[in-house]
């Protein structure tokens, strides 16, 4: 078995917790409260409370067991490791292709240009893939400002509606954690961008709309009428997908930035998950029942 | 935007990448010239042939004027002539001096015209051929042959007049990449002192690396930025 590397963009799956096993901040606070009650006989408000003969000792034991439990992979993480296994061991990779990804691929440089134009900073597309013992990744932009280094990932949104609702997903955040480690950076900037949709994708949208009404047995006159009726719809599709000629939209508002900072403890937890992932990987076979 | 699953980016070369970069200026000019040849012809040049289902055509006089205006130097060589069924045909070779490459090139063309027979006679009845019929038909066939050869130049010469399915001609936008690259280099040298240190490395790398067609958007981006300094 060669070196198994998890891709930064999908490593979020490793981070997911098994249902009910997640040890939360609330759990942590509750343990502290319970220990204090047990040791002092006083609750957090300073009132005298009972300990013996209540459910509290059991609650504390359960929470401590949860805290000290050996980390486990969630089903999501296991499914992800299976996909990695299929890729490395059998060369099987599911081809995900949709209009959202298409636009992202075609307009990546356009989004970088938008950032440069608005922020007045020279950004170049990073072309280097980096890896360490567990992860591999290729960030969109690496920028060294001298006093700090940042990695940027651009997400080109499909349209104004997806842009207005765009928020960082767990995958986006973990991707940033991995990039910060791989590029030894202090900050990760996740930038959602709204740029024009390429002409061929706009045309595809128009064609799809037209096919809803088109019929092969239409006469020439009916086809002409259909084209005429479609004009309004085409104009709206243009408006929905092309922004550079819309005077109600400024370039500044076509960028939405979320900033994340490097957290070495969090990364170490991610490494622990990656190690679990590799252990699980070793147990897999194509006809696995795990 | 990398994905675990292999999202393979388009690896086909751009048309412009297939050209010799050292000769890019000529290629660019040729592309512009082809754009000229693919403009719509003036509507007033276009006539309809009522004897051929109202098909559209540009008269030979207009075509010859266009040839003179655009190519300055051209000549027509009659390669073959003869009879075919009840028609005469002419095959010509239209030689022209390409204004960009300054090289002689040619397009071939063929044309045929029916030989007129007496009214009521079968077109196949060679005994009923009118006087002067060949004299009339042969130059006509030659004109058709010239038009046929001219069609190869582009829309301006009437190529798509009677075609339903046509494709618009646009220049290869990548061909002007080098002029943007040159602009970047010159702006970089001019504004070196004004570039913030944190941006210097990126712009320098772009301006001083070898010319690369794939970097068109980066060149444009940095030209825009440098202009703002």
Edge-to-edge strands of the sheet including A149-156?
A141-144, A149-156, A187-193, A255-261
Pick the more confident residue, A290 or A64.
Answer: A64
Report CB contact under 8 Å: A124, B202.
Answer: yes
Report CB contact under 8 Å: A140, B1.
Answer: yes
Residue A194 binned pLDDT confidence (cut-offs 50, 70, 90):
very high
B132 in contact with A at a CB cutoff of 8 Å? no
> At residue B137, does pLDDT exceed 70?
yes
Average pLDDT rounded to a whole number, residues B99-121: 85
Average pLDDT rounded to a whole number, residues A57-78: 88
pLDDT at B61: 86
Which tens digit of pLDDT belongs to each residue from A253-264?
A: 999 999 999 999
pTM over 0.80: no
A105 in contact with B at a CB cutoff of 8 Å? yes
A119 in contact with B at a CB cutoff of 8 Å? no
Reference B216, options B177, B173, B175, B172; nearest CA is B177
Reference A187, options A263, A118, A131, A130; nearest CA is A263
CB pairs under 8 A between A and B: 81
Mean pLDDT of all residues belonging to chain A: 92
Nearest chain A residue to B224 by CA: give it.
Answer: A117
Report CB contact under 8 Å: B4, A123.
Answer: no
Which tens digit of pLDDT belongs to each residue from B163-191?
A: 755 565 555 555 567 788 899 999 999 99
Report CB contact under 8 Å: B221, A9.
Answer: no
To the nearest 10 degrees (0 to 180), the angle between helices B216-228 and A108-119 is 10
Pick the more confident residue, B7 or B68.
Answer: B68
Nearest chain A residue to B206 by CA: give it.
Answer: A124
B170 in contact with A at a CB cutoff of 8 Å? no
Chain B interface mutation, best of A114, A122, A131, A148, highest count of B Cβ atoms under 10 Å: A122
Q: How far is A184 from chain B (nearest CA, A)?
A: 17
Which tens digit of pLDDT belongs to each residue from A219-247?
A: 888 888 888 899 999 999 999 999 999 99
Which tens digit of pLDDT belongs to each residue from A136-161?
A: 999 999 999 999 999 999 999 999 99
CB B94 within 8 A of CB B149: yes
Which tens digit of pLDDT belongs to each residue from A264-286?
A: 999 999 999 999 999 999 999 99
pLDDT at B84: 84
* Chain B residues with beta carbon closer than 8 angstroms to that of A10: 3-4
Pick the more confident residue, A173 or B48.
Answer: A173
Average pLDDT rounded to a whole number, residues B147-151: 91
Nearest chain A residue to B3 by CA: give it.
Answer: A9
Indicate left, alpha or beta for A228 from its phi (over 0: left) and psi (-120 to 50: alpha): alpha
pLDDT at B4: 47
CB A202 within 8 A of CB A237: yes
């Amino acid at each position: 078995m060669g070196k198994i590397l998890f891709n930064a963009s999908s490593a979020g799956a490793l981070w997911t917790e098994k249902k009910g096993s997640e040890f939360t901040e609330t759990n942590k606070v509750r343990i502290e409260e319970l220990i204090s009650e047990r040791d002092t006989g006083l609750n957090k408000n300073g009132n005298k409370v009972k300990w013996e003969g209540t459910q509290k000792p059991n609650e504390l034991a359960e929470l401590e067991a949860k805290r000290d439990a050996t980390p486990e992979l969630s089903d999501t993480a296991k499914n992800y490791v299976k996909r990695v296994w299929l890729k490395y061991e059998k060369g099987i990779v599911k081809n995900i292709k949709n209009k959202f990804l298409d636009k992202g691929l075609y307009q990546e440089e356009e989004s970088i240009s938008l950032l440069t134009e608005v922020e007045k900073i020279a950004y170049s597309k990073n072309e280097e893939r980096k890896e360490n013992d567990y992860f591999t990744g290729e960030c969109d932009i690496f920028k060294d400002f001298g006093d700090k280094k940042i990695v940027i990932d651009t997400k080109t949104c499909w349209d104004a509606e997806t842009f207005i609702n765009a928020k960082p997903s767990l995958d986006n955040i973990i991707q940033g954690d991995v990039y910060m480690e791989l590029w030894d950076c202090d900050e990760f900037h996740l930038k959602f961008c709204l740029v024009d949709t390429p002409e061929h994708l706009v045309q595809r949208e128009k064609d799809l709309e037209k096919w809803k009404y088109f019929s092969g047995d239409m006469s020439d006159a009916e086809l002409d009428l259909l084209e005429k009726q479609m004009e309004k719809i085409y104009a709206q599709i243009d408006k929905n997908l092309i922004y550079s000629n819309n005077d109600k939209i400024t370039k500044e508002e076509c960028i939405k930035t979320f900033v994340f900072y490097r957290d070495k403890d969090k990364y170490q937890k991610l490494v622990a998950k990656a190690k679990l992932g590799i252990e699980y990987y070793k147990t897999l076979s194509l006809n696995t029942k795990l | 935007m990398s994905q675990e699953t292999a999202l393979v980016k388009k690896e086909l070369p751009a048309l412009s990448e297939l050209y010799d970069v050292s000769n890019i200026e000529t290629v660019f000019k040729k592309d512009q010239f082809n754009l000229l040849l693919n403009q719509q012809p003036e509507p007033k040049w276009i006539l309809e042939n009522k004897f051929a289902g109202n098909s559209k055509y540009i008269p030979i006089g207009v075509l010859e004027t266009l040839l003179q205006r655009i190519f300055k130097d051209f000549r027509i060589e009659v390669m073959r002539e003869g009879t075919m069924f009840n028609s005469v045909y002419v095959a010509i070779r239209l030689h022209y001096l390409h204004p960009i490459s300054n090289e002689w090139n040619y397009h071939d063309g063929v044309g045929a015209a029916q030989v007129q027979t007496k009214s009521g006679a079968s077109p196949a009845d060679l005994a009923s051929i009118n006087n002067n019929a060949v004299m009339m038909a042969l130059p006509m066939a030659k004109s058709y042959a010239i038009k046929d050869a001219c069609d190869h130049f582009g829309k301006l010469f009437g190529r798509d007049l009677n075609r339903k399915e046509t494709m618009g001609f646009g220049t290869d936008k990548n061909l002007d990449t080098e002029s943007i690259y040159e602009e970047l280099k010159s702006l970089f040298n001019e504004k070196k002192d004004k570039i913030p240190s944190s941006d210097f490395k990126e712009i320098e790398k772009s301006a001083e690396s070898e010319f690369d067609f794939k970097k068109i958007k980066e060149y444009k981006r940095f030209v825009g930025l440098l202009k703002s300094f």
